[in-house]
Amino acid sequence: MSKEKISQLESLRAKSKREADLFFSLCENGQNFVESKKLKDALGNSGLKPNDSRLQSLFKRLEAHGDTIVFEDFISIIRTSGLLVEKALRGQLALPDFIDFSKNLDKIFDEVKKMKAGELASYIPPLAEVDPDQFGIAIVTIDGQIYERGDSLKDFSIQSMCKPFNYCFAMEEMGLEKVHKHVGQEPSGRQFDDLTLLARTVSGNYTGEYAKDNLEGRFSRVPFNPMVNAGAIMTAGLINPEDSYTQRLRYIRQKFGSLVGWTADDGSSAEIPRFNKDMARQENFKGYNNIAMGYLLMATGSLPHTKTDLHRDIHPDEDEFDFYIEPAVTEALKLYFSICSLEMTATDVAMAAATLANSGVCPISQHRVLSQKTVRNCLPVLQTSGMYNASGTFFQEVGLPAKSGVGGGILLVVPQLMGVCIFSPRLDKQGNSVRGLEMAKRLTSKYLVHTFDGTMTDTGRLDPKLPIARWKADSCGEAIWAASNGNIRTLESLVSQQRDLQTGDYDIRTPLHLASAEGQFEVVKFLLDQGVKPIPDRWGGYPISDARNNNHKKIVDLFNKLDIKYTEPFHLVENPKGKTDKIAKFEDELMVIELLFAATENNVDNIRHLVAKGVPVNAGDYDLRTALHLAAAEGSLEAVEYLITHGHPLNVRDRWGATPLDEAKREKRKSVVNFLNKYNH
C-alpha cells in the first residue's frame, strides 16, 4: 500500500465527497477499488438478506461485474437500490449496530431456551401433537433487516395472532366507525374465550357488562374487543360477507401474503400462507364454546344477518321440518376457524408485524398493504387487549402492542422500529407462550423499546436505534465536552435528566478530569457539590494531576481539601522530541467520541460506518486522543489495521505526548506493537 494511493483517494473524496466516502470506507489497504465481496459482507453485516427483493438488481450487477469495482462503477451499482445501500453502509438502518444487537439477542435466546415450563394446548389433537421443544425467533425492522434464530423457518399454526389482522382487514373494508358498531375497543380482563359481552348504550357512550335482562332495548351488546374470540369471530364475519367462504378465505390469505411481502409486482399474490384444513375441522368439531359465542352474537343482534327467508316446509312426514341454522353464524365461525388454522413461519409473522410497525407498508415489497389510519387504530387495541387477561401486566412490563396464539406464537410490534415473532409451543395458564413471554420481557429489559421509555435515562439499558459506541458516547461525551468548555448550563440540564456525571470515557477520563485540565474552576466546584467523586483515569491519574500539570492552582487547592489519597499517573512517552503527525478536527464532537469507542471495542463495522459518514479517521478528542491511540491501547488489531490502511498517520500525540505505539507498549499489546513497528519501516 502506498501513500500516493491514499492521496489519490483523497482527491477523489474532494470531488464527490458523499459517494467517495462510501467507497473509501470499503477500500482495503488503500487500494483504489472495492472488492465485490467486501460490499456483500457489509450488506450482510447490516442485516440485509441476499434474497431481499430490493437488492436483486444490485446482486445481478455484482455477479456480472467480477471481483473488483472501481469508483465510477461502484456509484452506478449502488444506485440500483435507491438509498438502501447507502443507508446500510453508513449505519443508518433502523438497527444501526445490527451485529451487536444480534449478539445480545443470541445470548437472551440461549438463556430462555433452558425454560421448559408450560403445557401444550390440548383441546385439539393437531396442537397437542406438536414438538413442545421448538423455539424460534425472528425480528424484521422497518428497513427490512432480518434477525432469525432457532426454528424461525418452521411453519406453525398462527391461531389468535390472526386477530389484529382480521380487525385491520375489516376496518379497511368498512371503516372504523362501522366496525365498532359490531365490536368494542375495551379490555375485557377475561379469558380469551369468555362468553361475556360488553353492554353499551346504542350511542356507544356507556360501557359495562351484559348482566341484566332489563337492559333490553336501551343497550346493545358487542364483544369487548377484536382480540378476544368473540370479537375475532365478529370481525371475521364482517370481511366480505357477500362472498362465498372460499372467496373470503382466498382473499384473507392473499392479504396475509401481501403483509409478508410475497405479492408480485402486478398486484397478484405469488404465494399465500398454508391452510391446515384438518386443524380447522378439529376446531369446528371441538369448538363448542366458540359456536355458542357465534349464536350469542346473533342473539344480541351485533352479528349481521344473512338475507334468507324461511322456506316452505315440504316434508312428507307431518312432524318433520328443516332445522335452520343461521348461515351468518356458521360462515363467520367457519372463516374464523380457518384463519386461525393458517400456518406461517416466525419470520413471516415478524414481517407482518413489521408492516404494522411501518404504518402499513411492507418493509421488503415496499407496497402499502394497510392504510396508516387502519394501523393507527389497530395498535392501541392490540396494546390494551392483545394479551387477554394478562394485557395489563404485559403492558406494564413489556409495554408493546402484542398478540399471542395457542399455537405458541407471540408477535410484538415496536412502532417505527420493528416487528418481532417468537414461537415456542408450551403455554402458561392464560394461553400465552412461556418462552415467548420471557423473551419479550428480556427484550425490554435489555433495550429501551417500551412505549413509555421515551423519558428514561436508564443507562443500564440500550437504545437499539443507536450504535453501541454512539450510546456510550452520548452517555458521557456531552458532559465531558461541557465540563471542558465550562458550560455549567448544559451540566445542570444533564443533572435534571438524572445523567451520571461521574461516567468516564474509553480512558476513564471524566468531566472532573477535563474541567481540571482546562482550568474550569466553577465547573469543578459544581461537580464536587453534586457529589461527583474524583476517580483515577486509565493511567492512574486523578483530576488533581490534570490541574497541577496545567498550573490551575485554585483547583489543586480544592482537591487537596478532600480526604483522598491521590496516586500519580504513568504515561509512557519513549521519544518526546520525535515526529508528530496531524490530528484532524471534526465539528461533530460526539461522532468523534463514537469513533474512539468503536476503536476501543474493535468494532470495525462501526468504524467503517463513521468513515462512510465522512468522519476523518484521525479525528481527535479533548485529550488529543485518536482512534489509533485507543485501538492500540486496547490491542484491537483489526481496528488498528483498518485505521492505518485508511490513512491514519502513526505519530499522532495525545495531551501527554504519547503516540499509539507508546500506548501499545505501555499496555503490553504485543501483536499491535509488532504490527506498528512493521508498518513504520
Q: Give the Cα separation of 423 and 369 in Å (integer).
A: 24
E strand or H helix that includes residue 229: helix 229-238
Q: Of residues 46, 104, 159, 384, which one binds ligand GLN by CB under 6 A? A: 159
Phi, psi of 221 (to 5 degrees): -120, 125
Cβ nearer to ligand GLN, comparing 229 with 516: 229
Cβ nearer to ligand GLN, comparing 159 with 185: 159
Q: Is 194 in the site for ligand GLN (CB under 6 A)?
A: no
Question: CB of 220: closest distance to ligand GLN in angstroms?
Answer: 24
In order of 139, 148, 395, 398, 498, the CA distances from 446 in angstroms are 15, 18, 16, 11, 19
Q: Give the Cα separation of 396 and 450 in Å (integer).
A: 9
E strand or H helix that includes residue 199: strand 198-201
Cβ nearer to ligand GLN, comparing 340 with 357: 340
Question: CB of 500: closest distance to ligand GLN in angstroms?
Answer: 44
Q: Of residues 235, 282, 290, 374, which one binds ligand GLN by CB under 6 A? A: 290
- Interaction residues for ligand GLN, span 387-406 (CB under 6 A): 405-406
Q: Is 160 in the site for ligand GLN (CB under 6 A)?
A: yes
Strand locations in 394-443 (E): 402-404, 409-414, 418-423
Q: Is 434 in the site for ligand GLN (CB under 6 A)?
A: no
C-alpha distance across the termini of the chain, in Å: 13
Cβ nearer to ligand GLN, comparing 356 with 406: 406
Question: CB of 248: closest distance to ligand GLN in angstroms?
Answer: 17
Q: Give the Cα separation of 569 and 307 in Å (integer).
A: 89
DSSP conformational letter for 160: G
Q: Is 428 in the site for ligand GLN (CB under 6 A)?
A: no
Q: Is 283 in the site for ligand GLN (CB under 6 A)?
A: yes
Question: CB of 64: closest distance to ligand GLN in angstroms?
Answer: 48
3-class DSSP assignment, residue 148: strand
Question: CB of 195: closest distance to ligand GLN in angstroms?
Answer: 13
Question: CB of 109: closest distance to ligand GLN in angstroms?
Answer: 23
Q: Is 226 in the site for ligand GLN (CB under 6 A)?
A: no
Contact (CB, 8 A) for 410 and 361: no
Q: Give the Cα separation of 85 and 520 in Å (integer).
A: 45
Question: CB of 132: closest distance to ligand GLN in angstroms?
Answer: 16
Cβ nearer to ligand GLN, comparing 430 with 485: 430
Q: Of residues 47, 401, 419, 431, which one binds ligand GLN by CB under 6 A? A: 431
Q: How many residues bind ligand GLN (CB under 6 A)?
A: 11
Q: Is 340 in the site for ligand GLN (CB under 6 A)?
A: yes
Task: Name the grid cell of 590.
Answer: 460526539
Q: Give me the numbers of helices (H) and strands (E) for the chain, helices first please.
A: 31, 13
Cβ nearer to ligand GLN, comparing 136 with 534: 136
In order of 547, 649, 655, the CA distances from 576 in angstroms are 21, 17, 12
Residue nearest to ligand GLN as judged by C-beta position = 160
Give every CB contact of residue 64 below 8 A, 6+ residues apart in sequence.
none
Cell 429501551 belongs to 448
Cβ nearer to ligand GLN, comparing 340 with 544: 340
Binding mask 240-279 for ligand GLN (x = CB under 6 A): ----------------------------------------
Angle at 306 between CA 303 and CA 308, to 5 degrees: 145
Spatial CA neighbour of 413 closest among 432, 386, 431, 438: 386
Q: Of residues 145, 166, 185, 229, which one binds ligand GLN by CB under 6 A? A: 229
Contact (CB, 8 A) for 442 and 433: no
Q: Is 192 in the site for ligand GLN (CB under 6 A)?
A: yes
Question: CB of 407: closest distance to ligand GLN in angstroms?
Answer: 7
Cβ nearer to ligand GLN, comparing 95 with 232: 232
* Residue type, position 502, single letter: Q
E strand or H helix that includes residue 58: helix 56-65
Q: Is 25 in the site for ligand GLN (CB under 6 A)?
A: no
Question: CB of 426: closest distance to ligand GLN in angstroms?
Answer: 14
Spatial CA neighbour of 116 closest among 445, 444, 443, 424: 424
Q: Is 193 in the site for ligand GLN (CB under 6 A)?
A: yes
Note the residues at the interface with ligand GLN (CB under 6 A). Answer: 159-160, 192-193, 229, 283, 290, 340, 405-406, 431
